[in-house]
Amino acid sequence: MKSFYSIIRKASLAIAATAALLIPTTGQTAEGWLVDFEKAKAQAAKEGKSLLMEFTGSDWCPPCKSLAKNVLTQDVFKNEVPKNFILLKLDNPRDKSKQTPEEIEQYKTLSKKYGIQGVPTIFLADAKGRPYWQTVGYSGDPADKYVANLKDQLKTLAKRDAAFAKASGASGTEKAKHIAEGLSLVSSELALNTYSDEVAEIIKLDANNEAGLKGKYEGLKNSVDFKADLENVMRSGGDDPKAVLAAIDKLIEEKKPTGEAKQEALFYQGSIYFRDDKDKAKATLLEAQKLAPESETGKRITGILDRFFKE
């Protein structure tokens, strides 16, 4: 059985590698897909359409290949989806010989901005590139069902726009609440990265934290910033466990994270302790679990405790 540490270490490296992907080219691929982010946004604005952004690994990712074969190349997709969406392919192939340096760099930039942790990932976004729906992986749905679901998500965009419309006619904390309602359709981290103007306005409108929104979004921002620092520590720590543990301790002391952010740091420390000190690993993971038991990391810790520390 692979060690817990090796599993987590490989997962961390895989995430880091995935996060090293993203940017647009100047041309257009087959079947009407654009590869330039800025051109796709401009065309979406001109035609009054949304963007359909596919982050993919076209020559190495099995689910990406299945999605392409069973959905993206089917007539129902090619005939129906372009009626409402401008198609943008953001590819991270192993063979980059057919990509420009700009495309390769674009993927790195956009994958970080949109928080890509696996492919295929599909975003539906407005002409400014602000997402209102996403899906990761490929469920195996046939093309007609997949397309129907995509078109149905235009209702989600309508909900977001309705909330923003209410905001335009309001002021103060009421306006902040309506903007936050529109942002609730995407994850908090995605909102911070892709709706920065709206988040800044919420914080400004709720300056005294009367609605609790300033505290919420400032806390989220601090959490996202801390997680980025944590990933940098994990990437730069090399193979010296003690050095990595010390660096994480220092980061916790300096940034004083709480909740899920601190949970993530303790989770990494627990994974490192597992190699040489199982008792310390268990204690650290239990401490992390208590911070946010219902978070994704909290649930993952529960599974790890059951698998590796079952008495």
Q: Are residues 22 and 139 in the same domain?
A: yes
Do residue 242 and residue 196 come from a single domain? no
**128 and 166 co-located in one domain:** no
pLDDT tens digit sequence for 235-263: 887 788 999 999 999 999 999 998 889 99
What element of type H or E holds 123? strand 121-125
Decide: 140 and 66 in contact? Cβ < 8 Å. Answer: yes
Q: Which of 152, 174, 208 is the last residue of a domain?
A: 152
**HSE-CB for 57 with a 13 A CA cutoff:** 18
Contact 131, 34 (CB under 8 A): no
**Domain total in the chain:** 3
Report yes or no on 127 lying in a domain.
yes
Q: Are residues 58 and 146 in the same domain?
A: yes
**pLDDT score of 16 more than 50:** no
Residue 29 lies in a domain: yes
CATH number assigned to the domain comprising residue 126: 3.40.30.10
Does residue 225 lie within any of the structural domains? no
| Cα separation, 76 vs 143, whole angstroms | 7
Q: At 29, is the pLDDT very low, low, confident or very high (cuts 50, 70, 90)? A: low
Residue 135 lies in a domain: yes
Residue 292: both structure tokens together: 């946010």
Q: Which long-range contacts (CB under 8 A, 24 or more apart) does 63-69 make?
A: 63/119, 63/120, 63/137, 63/138, 64/119, 64/120, 64/138, 66/138, 66/140, 67/120, 67/138
Total residue count of the chain as it appears in this document: 311
Percent of the chain with pLDDT over 70: 90
Residues 188 and 286 in one domain: no
Residue 232 falls inside a structural domain: no
| Whether residue 24 has pLDDT greater than 90 | no
Is 15 among the domain residues?
yes
Residue 193 and residue 148 in one domain: no
Domain boundary among 123, 152, 181: 152
Looking at the fold, whether 8 and 147 belong to one and the same domain comes out as yes
- The answer on pLDDT for 21 being more than 80 is no
Q: What is the pTM of this model?
A: 0.75
Last residue of a domain, which of 103, 129, 152? 152
Which domain range does residue 140 map to? 4-152
Q: For 172-180, what is the mean pLDDT?
A: 98
**pLDDT at site 117:** 86
Residue 245 resides in a domain = yes
Tens of pLDDT, residue by residue over 43-59, are 999 999 999 999 999 99
Q: Indicate whether 8 and 145 sit together in one domain.
A: yes
CB 91 within 8 A of CB 108: no
pLDDT of residue 11: 45
Residues 164 and 68 in one domain: no
Q: 53 and 97, same structural domain?
A: yes
Mean pLDDT over the full length of the chain: 90
pLDDT in tens, 130-173: 999 999 999 999 999 999 999 999 999 999 999 999 999 999 99
Q: Is residue 229 part of a domain?
A: no
Residues 175 and 296 in one domain: no
**Same domain (yes/no): 139, 167:** no
CA quadruple 83, 152, 73, 80: dihedral sign: negative
